[in-house]
Amino acid sequence: MASNQLSGSLDLLLLSVLERGEAHGYAVIARLRDVSGDAFDLPEGTVYPALHRLEADGLLMSRWDSSTGRRRRAYSITDSGLAALGEKRREWKAFSQGVQAVLGSLSRPGRPAQAAL
Amino acid sequence: MASNQLSGSLDLLLLSVLERGEAHGYAVIARLRDVSGDAFDLPEGTVYPALHRLEADGLLMSRWDSSTGRRRRAYSITDSGLAALGEKRREWKAFSQGVQAVLGSLSRPGRPAQAAL
DNA sequence: CCAGATACCTAGATTGTCTAGGTATGGCCA
DNA sequence: TGGCCATACCTAGACAATCTAGGTATCTGG
């Protein structure tokens, strides 16, 4: 995916990772990179503000964790977050099926001329 | 899809529709609405500027069509546009597979706690 | 004759993501 | 022990994409 275009599904990705359990920002980034096979290598400047926003919206909550010596902010998903995740999953499904429908029904090299005039 | 978030695949959708053959803006909108089962009902203020941009980038070309009495600008895809469409299709595939990977591998209700700390 | 669908357009608001900076600590190796 | 790199966090502002909200004009059906 060359240069990143997260598009609008960043929240979906973050909430999905955190559905699994508590994680801190840096780990979320690494997780997304690994699971997606390097498709998503998100800049910190994208992820941290998004986590803050999701927390401000009540979809995540956080605590400071000093157990490892190094200071980390550990995020976990709230009930609202789980609900929002469900909704965003539905939206993603509708969206990707919509794209698929357009690609599938129109992009096959049918008769090339005078389609929709 | 509640309130629209085309996100970054607008070009892909427009080029896909026009791959089939010449069409004017209003028809492109209708086509997307129909094919996607109402998932995509794009505002004109989104589509017209996008068509202009794609033409300025050389991916589309247009001509005025007065054959129906009503004035219409008919767009068709160029060779560059076809090449760009191929590329955007690859990008979409990588992106949606990436999302799918994240949803699939992480969103199943596995062990819930202490995932990535 | 009028309403509503067709058909086009643009300026500016809004929003999301990224760039580009910054700080600080821990671990490793020379 | 000193230095470097990875880890870990943060923010301001740039930039780009999409949408809102207006506008014009023509054709069609009732």
- Residues 10-69, chain A, touching B (beta carbon < 8 A): 12-13, 16-17, 19-24, 27-28, 30-32, 35-37, 39-40, 65
Instruction: Tell which strand C nucleotides have any atom below 7 Å from a protein Cβ.
Output: 6-12, 16-22, 25-27
- CB A80: neighbour CB atoms within 10 A? 14
- In the prediction, which pLDDT does A8 show? 86
Domain boundaries along the sequence of chain A: 10-104
CATH assignment of A10-104, given 3.50.30.60, 1.20.1250.20, 1.10.10.10, 1.20.1260.10?
A: 1.10.10.10
- In the prediction, which pLDDT does A38 show? 84
CATH second-level architecture of B10-102?
Orthogonal Bundle (1.10)
This model of the complex carries an ipTM of: 0.84
Q: Residue B106: which of A5, A19, A98 has the nearest Cβ?
A: A19
Segment B60-72, tens digit of pLDDT: 999 999 888 789 9
Q: How far is the alpha carbon of A7 from chain B, nearest alpha carbon, in Å?
A: 4
Segment A32-64, tens digit of pLDDT: 999 988 889 999 999 999 999 999 999 999 999
